[in-house]
Homo-oligomer: A and B are copies of this chain.
């Protein structure tokens, strides 16, 4: 097995997701700026994994901080990490959780602050694995037996601390005895499907077929796909879902062909402060991701490029949202608020 991300004496260790599946190498981030760079350059990616990385980045940042002004150091570390990627709300959720932990020990000796923050970051990692297993338990009954599950990008062990959200649902369905196979969209431009999902599912001996993104409609029309399951980077209060570019197209094509379209994500992906998905900031990534593949130029020089990393799927195309606390169904304004209230209750205990 592999670890997507873990805490070590030397720093935060991550599998380098830019190099998979050609090379399985690990990167050790020895300070918070290296963690920020790793998030920005997609050494690590996937909304929940970014959250864990940010939390560990904060802990690492405070290990470096001098004792003169811990508050200022904390703010600088948080600001740097918050500036890495704009769309996945789990990043901001994790930073907020680290802030609450910091506030609990604020004013105490730096050693106590450090201990508390390392503990909290490692707890976020551990909780994420348990959360994904719960998502899998809730999602597995929704997966039709004997058919293909279509997924996009990588919402797997590599996108989380382990087990995965969308791929967690698939793993749980298989563990429950369902005979399913997976069609993985390659997910241009960064090829998370071809490079990461295919790699991680082959690792687990789950039958997997790779297709290019533009084939998905053809197979959704064929009647062979039982459901689509994807992850999410941010979910607005009305159930609109920001996820990897291409998700919106899959959702429309699934809807047109009466194939259920499921989003699997932890409650930390909900952003109830946004009324709709139109308010979710969409990151633009560098043109080189489109014009080059593994450093090889595939387009003429001088061509203009658009590279939005995410799109927004309106709630009407989403059959259900699978979280660790249960399955939300339309109308999402109500069902998601219900799940989030559990959160407020848990927090106030």
Contacts and interface: CB of A to CB of B under 8 A. Distances in A.
Interface of A: 21-22, 152, 183, 185-189, 191, 194-195, 198-199, 202, 207-219, 221, 245-246, 248-249, 252-253, 256, 290-291, 293-294, 296-300, 302-308, 311
Contacts of A21: 299-300
A42 to B, nearest CB: 15
Contacts of A198: 299-300, 303
B212 A245 contact: yes
Given A186-B188, A188-B214, A245-B215, A294 B304 contact: no
A133 to B, nearest CB: 25
A140 B128 CA distance: 55
Given A194-B290, A194-B291, A211-B290, 19 more contacts: A21-B300, A186-B298, A195-B298, A195-B299, A207-B304, A208-B304, A210-B290, A210-B305, A211-B306, A212-B245, A212-B246, A213-B213, A214-B249, A215-B246, A216-B249, A252-B256, A253-B253, A293-B294, A296-B296
Contact of A245 (B188, B191, B214): B214
20 contacts: A186-B298, A187-B214, A194-B291, A195-B300, A198-B299, A198-B300, A202-B300, A209-B306, A210-B290, A210-B306, A212-B246, A213-B213, A217-B248, A217-B311, A218-B245, A249-B253, A253-B253, A293-B294, A294-B298, A296-B296
A212 B188 contact: yes
B213 A214 contact: yes
Contacts of A202: 300, 302-303
Nearest to A211: B306
Copy total for this chain: 2
B299 A186 contact: yes
A188 B213 contact: yes
Contacts of A191: 298-299
Contacts of A188: 186, 188, 212-214
B248 A221 contact: yes
Q: Which 6 A-B pairs have the closest CB atoms?
A: A214-B246, A217-B249, A188-B212, A213-B214, A21-B300, A218-B311
A22 B290 contact: no
Interface centre among A189, A246, A249, A308 (most CB of B within 10 A): A249
Interface centre among A152, A187, A215 (most CB of B within 10 A): A215
A214 B211 CA distance: 12
Contacts of A248: 217-218, 221
Contacts of A249: 214, 216-218, 249, 253
A297 B19 CA distance: 12
A194 B195 CA distance: 21
Nearest to A220: B249
B304 A293 contact: no
Nearest to A203: B300
Contacts of A304: 207-210
Contacts of A216: 249
B305 A211 contact: yes
A307 B211 CA distance: 7
A211 to B, nearest CB: 5
